[in-house]
Amino acid sequence: MHTHHHDHSHGHHHTIKDTRALKIAIAMTLTIFIAQVIGSYISGSLALLSDAGHMLSDAGALIIALIALTMYANANQNKEQLQRFTFGFKRIEVLAAMINGIILLSMCGFLIYESFMRVFFHTANIHAEPMLITSVIGLIANVISAYMLHDAHHLSTRSAYLHVITDLLSSIAVILGGIIIHFTGWDIVDAILSIGISIYILRSAFRLIRSAGVILMDSAPQGITSHDIEDLLGQVQNVLSVHDIHIWEMHPGELSISAHIIADQQFHAKVLEDARILLIERYHTKHITLQMEDANFSKDHGCDHCSSRED
């Protein structure tokens, strides 16, 4: 006996609104990226190039969010695709986050190497004016993007909003660096800023790769184990034991739980209902699959890998 309830309550209106906001943010981010690459070439600023790299990665994240949102919207209409990809396209975001993280790592390696070369060998002169002009343009565009995305409803769009906020902060850092160089002539400030921005991006890259890896391994999210589920379901009246427990996320924040519950057949319907209510209340998920078994069935058809702590 199975219960499986999917929540498809994201409104069509929210999807259209988020899609529009994402398209504007992508256009803004790519414009800043091009402006910063040109500005970096003219001014000789590595900090500006670091920020451009940050913009490129965020443009990637925004494009991924848009693709995921478009596929999510289209998959609901395409029955053939839904029959094949029974979980929909939620893992696309996770796969793309992993790729994004790997690209960020290699980009940061190059920028940190270049920055150290400049610190120790003074290989560049910085022109502060074009550096300042470009970073101010970047700041304005980021403010517009942040405003467009600030009340997003979908998970992918909300994460895109956080990307834009970090861009905004690094634009402010580059502006401050440009002002310092303009008034003091300390070109080394640029390389130090570039290292700082790169280290900040590295932290994001490691986090992206780690969280994507955990999800792709179908691992239980932090703060919940199979023993927690076993103990919780064990509290339900008439439950004899629980085994074959699986907890995983299709994408961040969407918890799925499955388990086999042993109880006398006469209590199956009541136990099933009580167990579902308990899991929904505790873990705020409706992605639940529970298989009811009686003791004889479990003994005859038990699985070797199932572990129970009846002992």
Residue 242 pLDDT level (bands cut at 50, 70, 90)? very high
> Same domain, yes or no, for 44 and 155?
yes
Residues 279, 259, single domain; the answer is yes
In a domain, 53, yes or no: yes
Which two structure tokens, joined as six digits, stand for 122?
Answer: 């003074």
Residues 199, 235: one domain?
no
- Whether residue 19 is predicted with pLDDT greater than 70 in this model: the reply is yes
Q: Examine the pLDDT at 205 and tell me if it is beyond 70.
A: yes
pLDDT interval class at 156 (50, 70, 90): low
Three-class HEC string of the chain: CCCCCCCCCCCHHHHHHHHHHHHHHHHHHHHHHHHHHHHHHHHCCHHHHHHHHHHHHHHHHHHHHHHHHHHHHHHCCCHHHHHHCCCCCCHHHHHHHHHHHHHHHHHHHHHHHHHHHHHHHCCCCCCHHHHHHHHHHHHHHHHHHHHHHCCCCCHHHHHHHHHHHHHHHHHHHHHHHHHHHHHHCCCHHHHHHHHHHHHHHHHHHHHHHHHHHHHHCCCCCCCCCHHHHHHHHHCCCCCCEEEEEEEEECCCCCEEEEEEEECCHHHHHHHHHHHHHHHHHHHCCCEEEEEEECHHHHHHHCCCCCCCCCC
Same domain, 179 and 294: no
pLDDT band at 307 (very low <50, low <70, confident <90, very high): very low
The residue from 165, 187, 216 where one domain ends is 216
Q: Say if 6 falls within a structural domain.
A: no
In this structure, is residue 1 part of a structural domain?
Answer: no
Give CA–CA dist 58/80, Å, rounded. Answer: 32
pLDDT of residue 206: 86
Go through the chain and tell me how many residues it has.
311
Binned at pLDDT 50, 70 and 90, residue 17 comes out as confident
CATH, residue 58: 1.20.1510.10
Residues 50 and 195 in one domain: yes
Average pLDDT of the chain is 80
> pTM for the whole thing?
0.66
Out of 181, 216, 251, a domain closes at 216
Q: Quote the number of domains for the chain.
A: 2
For residues 192 and 282, state if they share a domain.
Answer: no
Any domain includes 155: yes
Which pLDDT belongs to residue 286? 79
Residue 4: half-sphere exposure toward Cβ, Cα within 13 Å: 9
Q: Which of 173, 193, 216 is the last residue of a domain?
A: 216
Q: Say if 64 falls within a structural domain.
A: yes
In a shared domain, residues 90 and 195: yes
Q: Within a domain: residue 310?
A: no
Q: Is residue 309 part of a domain?
A: no
Structure tokens at 232: 């919780």
Share of the chain above pLDDT 70, in %: 82
Mean pLDDT confidence for 88-99:
74
pLDDT, residue 305, reads: 46
User: Range of 30's domain?
Assistant: 12-216
26 lies in the same domain as 62? yes
User: Based on the domain organization, do 246 and 207 belong to the same domain?
Assistant: no
Residues 21-32, mean pLDDT to the nearest whole number: 86
CATH number at residue 290: 3.30.70.1350
Please check whether residue 307 lies inside any domain of the structure: no
Task: For Cα atoms 89, 94, 96, give the angle at the middle one, nearest 5 degrees.
Answer: 95
Same domain, 57 and 114: yes
pLDDT grade for 185, boundaries at 50, 70 and 90: confident
Q: Which of these, 106, 115, 120, 141, lies nearest to 40 by C-alpha position?
A: 115
Is the same domain home to 96 and 114? Answer: yes
Q: Report which listed range, 8-12, 80-84, 218-222, 268-272, is most confident.
A: 268-272
Distance CA 75, CA 83 (A): 10
CA distances in angstroms from 308 to 102, 243, 296, 311, listed in the order given: 39, 5, 16, 8
* Residue 182 and residue 260 share a domain: no
